[in-house]
Amino acid sequence: MSEASSKPVDTADFWKAPPEARFNQKVVARVIDYSEAWLEIKRCKGGGIPFVKDKGGRVFYLKSDVLEWMGGAKKCASTSQYVEVRA
């Protein structure tokens, strides 16, 4: 493991940033409490947070898109309801 990848991700900058701020998948994964692999899978298969790529091919997420995605989560009262929501 490289030194950069073992460094903890601080999400404070995300919460302080304006809505148009861009963040990499490492920060976004930490903010939404999902893995980076989940974000990568959703970029390929769909159903995840909208993203942008710069000219170098690097992936970024806009804070406003992350917050909108987080706000769209469905609330369930039981685990049986969760199956209905996912369908």
Domains, the chain, ranges and CATH? 3-86 (1.10.1660)
Percent of the chain whose pLDDT exceeds 90: 68
CA 8-59-63 angle, to 5 degrees, is 70
- pTM equals 0.75
d(CA 87, CA 76): 13
Higher per-residue pLDDT: 7 or 19: 19
**CA 56 – CA 2 distance, rounded (Å):** 22
Comparing 13-17, 30-34, 74-78, which segment has the lowest mean pLDDT? Answer: 74-78
Three-state DSSP state, 52: strand
Task: Count other C-beta atoms under 10 Å from residue 36's C-beta.
Answer: 13
Structure tokens at 35: 């893995």
Amino acid at 68: E
